[in-house]
C-alpha cells in the first residue's frame, strides 16, 4: 500500500535536485584533491562524472521515481565531506598533522 502526500512528493523532488547538484559539485572537487595530492585524478573524476550523468539522465527521464533515488544513493561517495578529504591527506603523510 502506497500513500504519498503532496508534502512527501515536494520533499523528494527538492532532495533529488539537491543531491544531483551535490554529485556534480563532487566532480571538480575530486579533480582538485587529486591534483593537490599529486595522485592519478583522471579515473576518479571520470567515474564521478559518469555517476553524476547517470543520476541526471535518470532524473530527467523517470522523474523522481524509485529508480532515480536508488541511482543517486549508489552514486554518492560514501564519505562525502571535506573533513574526510583532509583526514585522507593526513593519513598519507605521516607526521604532517
Give the confidence band of 90 by pLDDT, cuts at 50, 70, 90.
very low
pLDDT tens per residue across span 7-48? 888 999 999 999 999 999 999 998 999 899 988 889 989 999
- Domain assignment of residue 70, yes or no: yes
pLDDT given for residue 40 in this prediction: 87
- Domain assignment of residue 51, yes or no: yes
- Domain assignment of residue 1, yes or no: no
pLDDT given for residue 5 in this prediction: 83
Confidence (pTM) = 0.72
With the C-alpha atoms ordered 33, 54, 24, 49, is the resulting torsion angle positive or negative? positive
Q: How many structural domains does the chain have?
A: 1
CA-CA distance, 48 to 40, in Å (whole number)? 14
Domain, as residue range, for 26: 13-76
- Domain assignment of residue 5, yes or no: no
CA atoms lying within 13 Å on the CB side of residue 25? 9
Residue predicted with more confidence, 1 or 7: 7
Amino acid at each position: 500500500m502506497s500513500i504519498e502526500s503532496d508534502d512527501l512528493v515536494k520533499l523528494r523532488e527538492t532532495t533529488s535536485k539537491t543531491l544531483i547538484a551535490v554529485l556534480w559539485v563532487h566532480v571538480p572537487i575530486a579533480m582538485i584533491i587529486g591534483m593537490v595530492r599529486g595522485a592519478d585524478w583522471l579515473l576518479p573524476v571520470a567515474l564521478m562524472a559518469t555517476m553524476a550523468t547517470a543520476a541526471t539522465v535518470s532524473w530527467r527521464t523517470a522523474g523522481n521515481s524509485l529508480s532515480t533515488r536508488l541511482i543517486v544513493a549508489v552514486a554518492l561517495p560514501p564519505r562525502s565531506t571535506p573533513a574526510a578529504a583532509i583526514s585522507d591527506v593526513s593519513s598519507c603523510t605521516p607526521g604532517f598533522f
